[in-house]
Structure formats: C-alpha cells, structure tokens
Amino acid sequence: MTTINKIKNLRPTESDASFKYVCPNCSGEYWVTLRQVKCEQFVIVCDCDTVLKPKPVEQIKIRYKKKKEKPKSETKISEDLIDSEILDRCCKSLMSYGFDKEEAAKLIQKAYKDTKNTDCATLVKMSLSNFGENNGKCN
Ligand SMILES: [Zn+2]
C-alpha cells in the first residue's frame, strides 16, 4: 500500500504576472511581464513610433483565498438543545432510577437529539432503553 503525502497550502517560489498596455496614440496593445514593469528604464516603442513609458511597478501581492468560515454553531446548538425546563423534569425522573444528574442530562440530551421529541415520558423511556443497549455504559 502506498502512502499518499498531502502537502497543504503550498506557496509558489516564484510568480509572474502580465500587464497589458495600450498605446493612446494608435491603440496598439502590448503585454509586458512583471520583470519588465519593475524596471524603471523599461519602455515600449510602439509601431507608431511612440515611446511608451509604463509607470514602474514596485511589487504585486498575492492574496490567498481565505478559508470559508464555518456557519456559526450557535444556531445549530439552539436546534439541538432541549428546553431546560423539560430537561430538568426528565432528569428528575431519571434520577429516581438511580442516575446522577450529569448522567441523566447526557441521556436525555441524546434521546432528544435522536427524536426531537419534547415529551418527558418518551425521552425518559428512550434514555432508559439507550442506557440498556449500551450495557450500562453511558456515552
Ligand atoms: Zn502606438
């Protein structure tokens, strides 16, 4: 099996750019390189015998794409979050089965996430069956 090496965010060691100049006299078009426009002595002698002197370019800057911002998780949380009053009531029921509060809350949250049900009895039942399925391991 071959391992594929992935190198991210590789940047160029060299870059080039082309600049187009148009002669105001005859509309003749000239493409020149970055190296040429960086040179202060650089001139274009147009076919119409006009000497064109491009404004010297000092540097061009690469602007890398920014990573797309992830949608704010806040909206997602509120969607997945059970009403605290319901959670409280469910926890109390589960706690009567011997769960501690943290454990109960975790189970209820999971049941709510799975079903989006807000009925306390259903969530408690779900939690208990989830708990049984995991052989007592609550994760
Ligand atoms: Zn010209």
Taking the centre of ligand 1 as the mean of its atom positions, its distance from the CA of residue 93, in whole angstroms, is 88
| 89 φ, ψ (degrees, to nearest 5) | -65, -45
Half-sphere exposure for 103 (CA within 13 Å, toward CB): 14
Q: In the chain, what is the straight-line distance between the N-terminal and C-terminal CA atoms, in Å?
A: 35
Query: Ligand 1 centre and the CA of 26: distance in Å?
Result: 4
Cα separation, 76 vs 59, in Å, equals: 44
Question: Domain residues of the chain, as ranges?
Answer: 18-52, 79-133
Q: How far is the CA of 47 from the centre of ligand 1 (A)?
A: 6
In the prediction, which pLDDT does 67 show?
81
pLDDT for res 28: 97
9 Ramachandran zone, left/alpha/beta (phi>0; psi -120 to 50): left
**Residue 53 C-alpha to ligand 1 middle, in angstroms?**
12
3 state DSSP class of 22: strand
pLDDT in tens, 32-83: 999 999 999 999 999 999 999 999 999 888 899 988 776 665 555 556 778 8
How far is ligand 1, taken at its centre, from the CA of residue 50, in Å? 5
Query: 124 by DSSP, 3-state: which?
Result: helix
Number of H-type helices and E-type strands within the chain = 5, 4
Distance 55 CA to ligand 1 centre (A): 17
Q: Tell me the C-alpha distance between 51 and 38, whole Å.
A: 17
Distance from the CA of 16 to the center of ligand 1, in angstroms? Answer: 25
**80: which DSSP letter?**
H
